[in-house]
């Protein structure tokens, strides 16, 4: 077993540094992103999104890039469940970046959890933003 780790020492070292970088980045960026969410975001009615093919080319490229980056974060998050790092947070960030059916409902269910909502509102309070409003 030790031979396996020694053979792939570079890979494990790179994963550890990447995990540390994502951890520090998430700690630095998450409060800012949470403060940017409109207070009524989770009580808005969402319409069916426009089909990707009907969008202009730059918008499609950006949507595909977000989905690829989101998938990459999900995979890295799964790896971080085994290595040191913010695995669950990275998986959630990847899911929130991607476009898939039922995404908004998933976001609403996660934010409606009392501990999650209290944590988000505590961060928003520190940023002097109004608390998030959720559907009852």
- Residue 24: CB atoms within 10 A of its CB come to 11
Q: Are 85 and 23 in contact (CB under 8 A)?
A: yes
- Please check whether residue 1 lies inside any domain of the structure: no
133 lies in a domain? no
- pLDDT digit string (tens) for 93-128? 788 788 888 888 888 888 888 888 888 899 899 999
The band of 55, judged by pLDDT with boundaries at 50, 70 and 90, is low
Q: Which long-range contacts (CB under 8 A, 24 or more apart) does 127-132 make?
A: 127/31, 127/32, 127/34, 127/35, 129/35, 129/39, 130/39, 131/39, 132/37, 132/39, 132/41, 132/42
In a domain, 90, yes or no: yes
**Residue 134 resides in a domain:** no
Q: Which domain holds residue 17?
A: 10-42+55-126
The reply to whether 4 falls in a domain is: no
State how far the alpha carbon of 36 is from the alpha carbons of 1, 31, 50, 65, in Å.
46, 9, 24, 22
Per-residue model confidence as pLDDT tens digits over 29-46: 878 888 888 888 888 766
**Residue 113 in domain:** yes
In total, how many domains does the chain have? 1
Could you give the CA distance from residue 59 to residue 53 in angstroms, rounded to a whole number? 10
Classify residue 19: in a domain, yes or no.
yes
């Amino acid at each position: 077993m030790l031979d396996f780790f020694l053979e792939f020492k570079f890979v494990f070292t790179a994963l550890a540094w990447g995990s540390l970088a994502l951890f520090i980045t998430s700690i630095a960026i998450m409060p800012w992103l949470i403060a940017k969410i409109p207070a009524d975001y989770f009580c808005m009615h969402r319409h069916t999104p426009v089909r990707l093919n009907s969008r202009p080319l730059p918008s499609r490229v950006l949507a595909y890039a977000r989905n690829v980056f989101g998938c990459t974060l999900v995979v890295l998050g799964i790896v971080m469940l085994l290595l040191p790092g913010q695995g669950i947070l990275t998986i959630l960030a990847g899911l929130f970046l991607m476009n898939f059916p039922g995404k908004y409902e998933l976001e609403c269910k996660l934010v409606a959890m009392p501990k999650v909502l209290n944590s988000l509102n505590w961060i928003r309070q520190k940023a002097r933003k109004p608390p998030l409003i959720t559907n009852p």
